[in-house]
Amino acid sequence: MKIGGAGMLAACWGGWAARVSAGVPALPQALSGQDIELRVAHRMLRIDGHETHAIGINGGIPGPLLRLREGQDVRLTVVNDLPGEDTSIHWHGLLVPFQMDGVPGISFPGIKAGSRFTYQFPLRQSGTYWYHSHSGLQEQMGHYGPIVIDPAGADPISSDREHVVVLSDHSAMHPHTIFKKLKQQGGYFNYQKQTLAGQIAGRDQKSADRLEWGKMRMDPTDISDVTGSTYRFLINGQTARDNWTGLFRPGERVRLRFVNASAMTIFNVRIPGLSMMVVAADGLPVKPVQVDEFQIANAETYDVIVTPADDRAYGLVAEAIDRSGMAFATLAPRPGMVAVAPPLRARPLATMKDMGMDMAGMDPDMMDMSSMHMGMRDQRNAPALPLGPGVQTISPMPADRTGEPGQGLANAGHKVLVYSDLVALEANPDTRPPGRTIEIHLTGNMERYMWAFDGKKLSEVGEPIPFTAGERVRIVLINDTMMNHPIHLHGHFFELATDKGDHAPRKHTVNVQPGSTVTFDLTADAIGDWAFHCHMLYHMHAGMMRVVSVRPAVSA
Amino acid sequence: MNMRIPRAGALPVLVALLAAMPVQAQEMPAGEMADHAHMHHDAVSSAEQASQQAPQQAAQQAAPPPAPSGHAADAIWGAEAMAPSRATLRHEHGGMTTNQIMVDLAEVQFRRGREGYRWEGEGWWGGDIDRLVVKTQGEGRFGGAADAAEAQALYSRATGPYYNLQAGVRQDIGAGPKRTYAVIGLEGLAPYWFETDAAVFLSDKGDVTARLEGWYDQRITQRLILQPRAEVNLAAQNVPDQAVGAGLSNIEAGLRLRYEIAREFAPYVGVSWERKLGRTKRYAQALGEGSGGAAFVIGVRTWF
């Protein structure tokens, strides 16, 4: 099926992302089949009455849903109608040959203005995925869309109806300007800082803490770099005022396929009055987990099943992690119903644990302060790390926080999904123990807006991180910063090391909480060069990225 | 340009890649995905097989492979086609430069019987570490040339997370002698969020002077900000033609309340107080000038 240039605008609000959606299976507007054409072009996006510059795919923001089937081959021809600007599409989470992965400068040369490029690959998996530009900062301007791949056989996850829910952030400000403001003033977009008024009102830290944090030049309100002060948060391209509505019949099992296509926003998702059963993470089925809320980092996907019993509207709340705004939509039995949006909850404040000081986790009997280095930038806590201006802090005691709710949700008062809840439905394909371990420090300087792996920006690093094809490697990510970093490895799934034996959850993107560590095991089985980066768009743009190479073993 | 499916290059890298790329993506039948990882077991190196048999803890020290000799994509698309995009990739992931022009003070000063003006600002151009910094400041009375004004051009290098070491030249451009100086300074953010700027100046007459500045932004609300500010000037010797005496020559303190209509545009009101000290004060008295005093100020802080 091909959709040409004409009639694209008519399609842009059609179907799965239409303001009122009956659900995915009924939709003709999803693109299916073996030959699909995607046109990337500028368009104006009207958000709450204001026109903003944006990039659409086949006229849509998000781009069209690609509904494909495991086992089929697909040819995706991307036409670049952007004037004077290269583009690309990366198929996030899909296992494709490296030259089809869509990262200019790593997988292929990119797609020049006015030209086209045909991606071709077999679909070796099923589940909820997405696609987005890997060129410049186009993703921030609307260059993203969802992918649903149906299993070749029976779907282990049964449902009566499904909706795709694409979360994103959009600003009227050009992404280059956003980045420049961040370089000029790291806290530019934060309008939830500590103030005298806030202190008097009891919203902020107590004086002693505030003094202590001030001494360290650390701002506990620095939760998101780019916030609701410039962003409008969208569900399927629509604001709360648009009220995207997903229909259901009371009693149905409704599968919601969440994709976080945001440039910079982690969302807390809940549906007041409904509990959600998480059934898949990053596209792959997990043993069902019942939760009231989950945090979804940039580029992650979660599938949940809800069973709304009542004949009423339910609010679908995706609150920005810093509580500076929310995306809001309605699940309803009939069009025209509007759920009531709950108020934003109080903004979280970062804690000592977010600075990598996990005092609580220490065994008091074992505590030998003399052997510990509690400074916030002590070389002894990371001997190999170059202590340049880009390394503001080194976590002295980083904790594994995969068993903890995401930032700001510790006291949510209900069940919040944690990574350690996730158990793969199917046994892992490779259960060999890792042959070696690589430690990677996630480093940054919030004052200079510098972000890097191991203190070095991609622009400063010549060589990739090398892997031998087929080898099993343990990777330990140590977050030396006070920000969340959703880390994405292209071309692979990795098994999170959360003691789930041969049923470790397999992911393509994992959020490393502030001041914490995340460990995963990887079978480097995809030969080629791959991108490995933080999925906070401006962190990546600042240099928080590496190339990973997978090569056949060299015979001696 | 219409790039479709890989054109085969004769590069040895490609041969190596294809040789090791078992049926893999191109022809794998559906449903075999779960078996996929096992397909590579044949290719696993002997070193790795050894490590599998070892206990996990001990095995974690296997040596990493050497860095690959070439880029995988070059073998598919050609090195020539890949080179520009690779350069762009590196540039766009940490290699960019940017700039800022900050007008910290641009104000009218109301003193008893005479109104004056004052400005202070700086611009920078460059990357995260190395920058060109231009600073300027000055003051004067309406209707005449600036009494004191200067411009500095400095090379600035980040020396740590918070501080920049700066060196360059300063040129006096106000009334009085048009001195040129060598400058060395340190600018940055001190603990407790104090902004600081310290510089030592060596004039073309061999005179050494120094200036220390500091300020702090006390947020009252998200947009209403009270900024205490202080400046101290010192001299290593008397500089009679500039009416500067050795030692502590003058101090200045200010308190400005600004409202950030936008981050980049904040009108303010405040008070500024200055006092000449020691021999500098006596020079001023000899010239019939005052030794300082307070002024009400109104101005705007702006940047872009």
pLDDT tens, N- to C-terminus, chain A (556 residues) = 333 333 333 334 446 777 888 765 434 468 999 999 999 999 999 999 999 999 999 999 999 999 999 999 999 999 999 999 999 999 999 999 999 999 999 999 999 999 999 999 999 999 999 999 999 999 999 999 999 999 999 999 999 999 999 999 999 999 999 999 999 999 999 999 999 999 999 999 999 999 999 999 999 999 999 999 999 999 999 999 999 999 999 999 999 999 999 999 999 999 999 999 999 999 999 999 999 999 999 999 999 999 999 999 999 999 999 999 999 999 999 999 999 999 999 999 999 999 998 766 555 555 555 556 778 888 888 988 989 999 999 999 999 999 999 999 999 999 999 999 999 999 999 999 999 999 999 999 999 999 999 999 999 998 999 999 999 999 999 999 999 999 999 999 999 999 999 999 999 999 999 999 999 999 999 999 999 999 999 999 999 999 999 999 876 5
Task: List the single residue in A109, A450, A472 with the smallest CB-CB distance to B82.
Answer: A109
> Is the Cβ pair B93, A460 closer than 8 Å?
no
Mutate to test the interface with A, among B26, B41, B44, B128 (most CBs of A within 10 A): B128
Q: To the nearest whole angstrom, how far is the Cα of B22 from the nearest Cα of chain A? A: 10
Nearest CB partner across the interface for B192, out of A98, A100, A214 = A214
Is A542 in Cβ contact with B25 (below 8 Å)? no
Q: In the prediction, which pLDDT does B40 show?
A: 37
Q: Residue B30 CA to chain centroid, in angstroms?
A: 53
Q: Verify whether the Cβ–Cβ distance B4 to A117 is below 8 Å.
A: yes
Contact A105 B159 (CB under 8 A): no
8 Å CB contact of B24 and A97: yes
Q: Nearest by CB to A529, from B29, B72, B88: name it.
A: B72
Q: Is A19 touching B (CB cutoff 8 A)?
A: no
Is the Cβ of A426 closer than 8 Å to some Cβ of chain B? yes
- Residue A217 contacts B where some CB pair is shorter than 8 Å: yes
Residue of chain B minimizing CA distance to A445: B161
CB contact under 8 A, B98 and A183: yes
A311 at the B interface (CB within 8 A)?
A: no
Task: List the single best residue of A116, A217, A490, A523 to mutate versus B (max B Cβ within 10 A).
Answer: A217
Strands (E) located in A29-176 = 35-47, 50-57, 66-69, 73-80, 90-92, 116-122, 127-132, 144-150, 161-171
Interface membership of A460 toward B (CB under 8 Å):
yes
Q: Is residue A483 within 8 angstroms of chain B, CB to CB? A: no
The residue that leads in pLDDT, A505 or B25, is: A505
B88 pLDDT band, cuts 50/70/90, is: very high
Residue B246, pLDDT above cutoff 70 = yes
Q: Is residue A195 less than 8 Å (CB to CB) from chain B?
A: yes
Residues of chain A neighbouring B3 (CB-CB closer than 8 A): 108-109, 111, 115, 117-118
In the predicted structure, residue B53 carries a pLDDT above the cut 70:
no
Helix (H, G, I), strand (E, B) or coil at B14: helix
Residue that the structure tokens 């030959």 belong to: A35
Residues of B in contact with A554 (CB under 8 A): 65-66
CB neighbour list of residue A102: distance below 8 Å, 6 or more residues apart: A88, A89, A90, A91, A108, A119, A131, A134
**Which of A72, A209, A471 should be substituted to probe chain B, the one whose Cβ sees the most B Cβ atoms within 10 Å?**
A471
Q: Is A436 on the interface with B (CB under 8 A)?
A: yes
State how far the alpha carbon of A162 is from the alpha carbons of A22, A128, A331, B259, in Å.
9, 12, 11, 49
Q: Nearest-CA distance from B175 to chain A in Å? A: 34
Confidence of residue B15 (pLDDT cuts 50, 70, 90): very low
Rg (CA), chain A: 23
- Is the distance from CB of A495 to CB of A432 less than 8 angstroms? no
Q: Which amino acid is at A210?
A: R
Task: Indicate which of A90, A124, A284 best probes the interface with B, i.e. most B CBs within 10 Å of its own CB.
Answer: A124
Q: What is the CA A249 to chain-centroid distance, rounded?
A: 31
Q: Which of B261, B283, B256, B258 lies closest to B272, judged by CA? A: B256
**Position B14 pLDDT exceeds 80:** no
Of A106, A450, A545, the CB nearest to B73: A106
pLDDT, mean of residues B127-140: 97
- Whether the pLDDT of residue B112 is over 90: the answer is no
Give the mutation candidate from A107, A468, A474, A475 for the B interface (greatest B CB count, under 10 A). A468
Other CB atoms within 10 Å distance of the CB of residue B96? 17
Instruction: Determine the Cα–Cα distance for residues A398 and A394; give it in Å rounded to an integer.
Output: 9
Q: Which of residues 495-514 of A touch B (CB under 8 A)?
A: none
Geometric angle at alpha carbon B16, from A495 and A506, rounded to 5°: 10
Asked if the Cβ–Cβ distance from B72 to A527 is below 8 Å, we say yes
Task: Count chain A–chain B contacts defined by CB atoms under 8 A.
Answer: 269
Q: In the 8-state DSSP scheme, what is residue A298? A: T
**Complex-level ipTM beyond the 0.90 threshold:** yes
Q: Collect all residues of chain B within an 8 Å Cβ-Cβ radius of residue A122.
A: 25-28, 30
Query: Cis ω on the peptide bond leading into residue A62 (within 30° of 0)?
Result: yes
Q: CB distance B162–A217 less than 8 Å?
A: yes
Minimum CA–CA partner of B48 in chain A: A435
Cα–Cα distance, B7 to B73 (Å, whole number):
11
Strand residue runs (E) in A180-296: 231-235, 245-247, 254-260, 267-270, 276-281, 284-291, 293-296
Give the closest of B38, B52, B72 to A528, CB-based. Answer: B72
Q: Which one of B34, B62, B92 has the shortest CB-CB distance to A136?
A: B92
Contacts of B66 in chain A (CB under 8 A): 466, 554
Mean pLDDT of B43-62: 44
Does the distance separating the beta carbons of A429 and B37 come in below 8 Å?
yes
- Nearest chain B residue (CA) to A468: B65
Indicate the pLDDT class of residue B208, thresholds 50, 70 and 90: very high
Q: Please answer yes or no on whether A434 and B82 come within 8 Å at the CB atom.
A: no
Q: Do the chains contact at A463 and B67, CB–CB below 8 Å?
A: yes
- Any B CB within 8 A of A440 CB: no
CA angle A395, A401, A402 (to 5 degrees): 140
Taking a C-beta distance cutoff of 8 angstroms, is the pair A63, A179 a contact?
Answer: no
Burial class (CB in 10 A: 0-12, 13-18, 19+), A71: buried
**What residue of A is the nearest CA neighbor of B32?**
A124
Strands (E), A124-253: 127-132, 144-150, 161-171, 231-235, 245-247
Could you tell me if A415 and A292 are in contact, meaning their C-beta atoms sit under 8 angstroms apart? yes
pLDDT over 50 (residue B29): no
Supply the pLDDT for residue B74: 97
Q: Indicate if the pLDDT at residue B267 is higher than 90.
A: yes
Query: For residue A25, is it left (φ>0), alpha (ψ between -120 and 50) or beta?
Result: alpha
Q: What is the DSSP letter of A111?
A: B
Q: Which pLDDT score is estimated for A361?
A: 56
Cβ contacts of B65 on chain A, cutoff 8 Å: 466-468, 471, 551, 553-554
How many Å lie between the alpha carbon of A242 and the closest alpha carbon of chain B?
Answer: 28
CB contact under 8 A, B85 and A438: no
| Residue the block writes with tokens 């995969």 | A402
B51: nearest CA partner in chain A: A435
Q: Does the pLDDT of residue B146 top 90, yes or no?
A: no
Q: Which of A70, A452, A466 sits opposite B64 (nearest CB)?
A: A466
| Model pLDDT, residue A96 | 98
Average pLDDT over residues B135-158: 92
What is the per-residue pLDDT for A17?
77
Determine whether the interchain pair B94/A457 forms a contact, defined as Cβ–Cβ distance below 8 Å. Answer: yes
Q: Would the CB atoms of B36 and A433 count as touching at under 8 Å?
A: no
Beta strands A528-534 and A436-445 are unpaired
Q: How close is the nearest chain A Cα to the Cα of B251, in Å?
A: 26
Q: Helix, strand or coil for residue A100?
A: helix
Instruction: Report the pLDDT averaged over residues B188-214.
Output: 97
pLDDT of A20: 82
Residue contact B60–A436, C-beta within 8 A: yes
Q: How far apart are CA A111 and CA A134, in angstroms?
A: 11
- A28 interfacial to chain B (CB closer than 8 Å): no
